[in-house]
Homo-oligomer: A and B are copies of this chain.
Amino acid sequence: MKQSRYSPGARLHRQTSGAVRFSRTFTMVFAGHPARAAVSAFVLVISVFTALLALPWASADRHPMSLVDAAVTATSAVTVTGLTSQDPEFYSFAGQVVILAAIQTGGLGIVTLGAWLTLVVSRRLSLRTRLLSTESLGVSKLGEVPALLLTVFVVTLSIEALLTLVMLPVFVESLGIGEGIFHAVFYSVSAFSNAGFVLDTTSLTHPLIMTTINVGVFAGALGFPVVYMLYRMVFHKARMNLHTRLTLEMTAILLFGGAVVLAIFEWNNPATLGPMGTVDKLHNAIFASGMTRSGGFNTYEVTAQTDQTLLVTNVLMFIGGGSGSTAGGIKVTTLAVLLLAIVTEIRGDEHIRVHRRELPVSIIRVAVAVLMAGAVVVLTAVVLLTWVTGADLETTLFEVLSAFGTVGLSTGLTASAPDAGKWILIAVMFIGRVGTITFATGLTIRQQKTLYRFPTERPIIG
């Protein structure tokens, strides 16, 4: 059947085919090596931004950063971590624009890469697993993935535009039109990408800015499968899937549970919540709790917090945000699966059930693998970093977890560490960002049937 050249349906069809064809070409280039593709893409992007930031014009005083400092900033921006070895005032306007570009590239890059990897690996799944996989992405068939990506781009830019507009009046009033607009755009992108980069150390005191950034970080940390699901619920009356429900529930529990614990331990701390009024105390506690999800902005000195808060923050940073988001950590749904496993054991059930759904048996193994891999990376890095820096366990553990969770809260160790320490933190940010995606995606796919079985034997454990 010949289609009219000017029908909108035909144009949409052509566009989709184009996207699918591009995706196929891209897939063929890295066929069979999705992990290698992800790692290569990130290394390339980070190298480019490192080179740009190592040039003199990136610094306010035209005195260039050392290569390792440029690499820290570039890696930190592309992996949306927010740890830097320089004060925010160090960078020139050009440097700030490069950082903004790196954040947006990294943020959207992660989302794109995540969707693409899912697409590639889904091709190799059995029909049943493929259905489960597309279902959890919020699409009913694989052909929808390009549309999903388009939606993610549009939604991301729309939300960032909205956040910019909300903050614009405050910034314009205090900084003038030009700088005000740049600040609003920068903080909007930095918040929704969960990057945690700031332009100066004083912007975050205004309550409206704080709230907007908190909302931006919250939304960004949910992850694109959740954002796409919510979009489809609003515009296409879709029913909420299990992934979205678990992500929203765990994120809310961690946000408010974390805020309560933080408020308890900081309520009378003169260096943090102590001097504030009750409302401000609660507001700042929720802000600080939300930032571990992994926004990484802070309204008071990290090191001024009590040991108890630091420890709870460590745990929250290790958990991180939603799967397929710009947040790091082992992810809230991984925690949900691990917790559900315990509940299942205590209830003595045969299957993990939640919200009238059963989880596939294999998912608990993936969750364990993600948890253990995270623990191994963090512990190895802490041992090496204490060795190189001579800093104590508390400081080192916090900084490594902040890097692994791509959170960006800092005890100052990233700035004070010798070069070897900075390279360790660069590696941890990279693994925390790229490793978990490829690791988890790689793990989920390779379900192979074995043709032989061994007798079952149960060792005693616990």
Q: Which residues of A contact B (CB under 8 A)?
A: 132-133, 135-137, 223, 225, 241-243, 246-247, 265, 306-308, 310-312, 315, 323-324, 330-331, 333-334, 336-339, 341-342, 344-353, 356-370, 372-373, 379, 382-383, 386-387, 392-394, 397, 436-437, 439-441, 443-450, 453-462
Docked pose: A265 CA to B341 CA in angstroms: 38
Query: Which chain B residue lies CB-closest to A132?
Result: B458
Chain B residues contacting A133 (CB-CB under 8 Å) are 458
From the candidates B351, B379, B440, B446, name the one contacting A315 in the complex (CB within 8 A). B379
Distance (Å) between the CB of A273 and the closest chain B CB? 16
Nearest 5 Cβ contacts at the A-B interface: A440-B462, A348-B446, A243-B459, A370-B462, A323-B460
Docked pose: A301 CA to B215 CA in angstroms: 50
Distance (Å) between the CB of A366 and the closest chain B CB? 6
A-B contact pairs, 17 of them (CB 8 A): A136-B458, A307-B393, A331-B461, A331-B462, A333-B459, A341-B372, A342-B368, A342-B369, A342-B373, A350-B448, A350-B450, A356-B454, A357-B455, A369-B462, A394-B394, A437-B462, A443-B462
Do the beta carbons of A461 and B370 come within 8 Å of each other?
yes
Docked pose: A242 CA to B448 CA in angstroms: 24
Do the beta carbons of A351 and B450 come within 8 Å of each other?
yes
Q: A132-B457, A344-B365, A357-B456 are in contact. List 8 more A-B contacts (CB 8 A).
A: A308-B386, A333-B460, A338-B368, A338-B372, A341-B365, A348-B446, A364-B365, A441-B462
Chain B residues contacting A311 (CB-CB under 8 Å) are 379, 382-383, 386, 393
Chain B residues contacting A346 (CB-CB under 8 Å) are 369, 443
Do the beta carbons of B450 and A349 come within 8 Å of each other?
yes
Do the beta carbons of B341 and A368 come within 8 Å of each other?
yes
Please report whether the interface of chain A is mostly helix, strand, loop or mixed according to DSSP: helix
Docked pose: A133 CA to B456 CA in angstroms: 11
Do the beta carbons of A358 and B453 come within 8 Å of each other?
yes
Do the beta carbons of B353 and A454 come within 8 Å of each other?
yes
Docked pose: A352 CA to B362 CA in angstroms: 11
Do the beta carbons of B342 and A461 come within 8 Å of each other?
no
Of A243, A323, A449, A457, the most chain B CB neighbours within 10 A belong to A457
From the candidates B132, B393, B449, name the one contacting A394 in the complex (CB within 8 A). B393
Do the beta carbons of B461 and A333 come within 8 Å of each other?
yes
Do the beta carbons of B456 and A358 come within 8 Å of each other?
yes
Docked pose: A246 CA to B225 CA in angstroms: 40
Distance (Å) between the CB of A432 and the closest chain B CB? 12
From the candidates B246, B387, B462, name the one contacting A308 in the complex (CB within 8 A). B387
Docked pose: A439 CA to B461 CA in angstroms: 11
Chain B residues contacting A457 (CB-CB under 8 Å) are 132, 135-136, 241-243, 357-359
Query: Which chain B residue lies CB-closest to A436?
Result: B462
Query: Which chain B residue lies CB-closest to A247?
Result: B459
Docked pose: A373 CA to B453 CA in angstroms: 32
Chain B residues contacting A359 (CB-CB under 8 Å) are 456-459
Do the beta carbons of A460 and B136 come within 8 Å of each other?
yes
Chain B residues contacting A323 (CB-CB under 8 Å) are 459-462
From the candidates B243, B366, B453, B461, name the one contacting A462 in the complex (CB within 8 A). B366
Chain B residues contacting A436 (CB-CB under 8 Å) are 462
Do the beta carbons of A461 and B341 come within 8 Å of each other?
no
Do the beta carbons of A360 and B458 come within 8 Å of each other?
yes
Query: Which chain B residue lies CB-closest to A242?
Result: B457
Do the beta carbons of B456 and A440 come within 8 Å of each other?
no
Do the beta carbons of B397 and A363 come within 8 Å of each other?
no
Docked pose: A456 CA to B355 CA in angstroms: 11
Do the beta carbons of A461 and B446 come within 8 Å of each other?
no
CB within 8 Å for A372 and B342 given contacts A136-B460, A311-B383, A440-B461 = yes
Distance (Å) between the CB of A134 and the closest chain B CB? 11
Chain B residues contacting A365 (CB-CB under 8 Å) are 341, 344-345, 352, 364
Docked pose: A63 CA to B445 CA in angstroms: 68
Docked pose: A459 CA to B340 CA in angstroms: 12
CB within 8 Å for A369 and B341 given contacts A336-B459, A394-B394, A440-B462 = yes
Chain B residues contacting A306 (CB-CB under 8 Å) are 387
